[in-house]
C-alpha cells in the first residue's frame, strides 16, 4: 500500500517572493497605458488646432456649451476668428485663447488657468481634502493605540474612586 501525501503548502517566504513581481508588472502596464494615451500622433493640422481651441472656449450665448459644440451665431463667429488667427501662423493656442478672452470676456473660459488666482481656487480644495484625510488618519491611529492600552492599577483606582464618589452623591 502506498500512501500518497498531500504536497506541503508553499512556505510564506516563497509566497512573498511572488507578489512583488506582479506589482512591478502592474506598474509597468499602468505606465505604458499612461504614456500611450497622452502621446500625440504628430503635428496637428489647422482643423485639429481649431477643434482643440474651440473645445476649451465657452460659448458666450449658450449655457454650458463650448464653441466647438454650439451652433449659435456667436460661436460661429468665434470659430471663424480662431480659424483666421490659426491661418496667419503666428499665434500659439494660448495666445488665441487669450485673444478670445479679451475680446469676448472672461466667461469664455471652460478650462481654468493654471497660474495665479485661478490655480489657487482649484488647488485649495484638493489641498484641504488631503490635509483632512491626513488628520483623520492620525486621529484614528491615536484612538486605536489608546484603545489597545491596558489600564494600570492606578487607572483602576481613579475610576473606582470616581464611581464611589458618584454613588455617594446619589
Do 93 and 134 sit in the same domain of this protein?
no
Burial class (CB in 10 A: 0-12, 13-18, 19+), 67: buried
User: Which of 65, 82, 108 corresponds to the end of one domain?
Assistant: 108
Angle between helical axes of 93-104 and 73-88 (0-180°, round to 10): 140
Does residue 66 form part of some domain?
A: yes
| Own/partner pairs, 110-119, CB within 8 angstroms, 24+ separation | 110/55, 110/56, 110/57, 110/58, 110/66, 111/56
Of 14 and 32, the one with more pLDDT: 32
Does residue 13 form part of some domain?
A: no
Does residue 26 form part of some domain?
A: no
Does the reported pTM lie above 0.75? no
Of 106 and 31, the one with more pLDDT: 31
| End-to-end CA separation in angstroms for the chain | 79
Do 91 and 133 sit in the same domain of this protein?
no
The answer on pLDDT for 150 being more than 70 is yes
Please give the pLDDT value at position 158.
94
Does residue 159 form part of some domain?
A: yes
Does residue 96 form part of some domain?
A: yes
Residue with cell 485673444: 99
User: What value does the mean pLDDT take over residues 19-39?
Assistant: 80
* SS3 assignment, position 64: coil
Do 73 and 104 sit in the same domain of this protein?
yes
- Express each pLDDT in 49-88 by its tens digit: 888 888 888 888 888 788 888 888 888 888 998 899 889 8
CA distance 110 to 100: 12
Burial class (CB in 10 A: 0-12, 13-18, 19+), 53: buried
Do 124 and 142 sit in the same domain of this protein?
yes
Structural domain harbouring 90: 46-108
CATH of the domain at 74: 1.10.8.640
Of 161 and 15, the one with more pLDDT: 161
Amino acid at each position: 500500500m502506498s500512501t500518497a501525501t498531500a504536497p506541503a503548502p508553499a512556505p510564506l517566504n516563497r509566497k512573498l517572493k511572488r507578489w512583488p513581481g506582479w506589482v512591478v508588472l502592474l506598474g509597468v502596464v499602468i505606465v505604458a497605458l499612461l504614456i500611450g494615451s497622452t502621446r500625440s500622433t504628430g503635428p496637428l493640422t489647422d482643423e485639429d488646432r481649431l477643434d482643440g481651441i474651440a473645445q476649451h472656449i465657452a460659448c458666450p450665448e449658450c449655457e454650458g456649451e463650448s464653441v466647438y459644440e454650439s451652433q449659435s451665431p456667436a460661436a460661429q463667429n468665434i470659430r471663424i476668428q480662431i480659424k483666421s488667427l490659426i491661418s496667419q501662423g503666428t499665434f500659439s493656442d494660448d495666445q488665441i485663447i487669450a485673444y478670445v478672452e479679451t475680446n469676448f470676456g472672461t466667461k469664455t473660459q471652460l478650462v481654468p488657468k493654471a497660474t495665479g488666482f485661478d490655480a489657487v481656487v482649484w488647488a485649495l480644495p484638493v489641498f484641504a481634502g488631503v490635509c483632512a484625510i491626513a488628520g483623520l488618519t492620525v486621529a484614528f491611529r491615536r484612538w486605536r493605540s489608546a484603545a489597545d492600552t491596558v489600564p494600570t492599577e492606578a487607572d483602576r483606582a481613579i475610576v473606582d474612586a470616581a464611581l464611589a464618589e458618584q454613588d455617594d452623591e446619589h
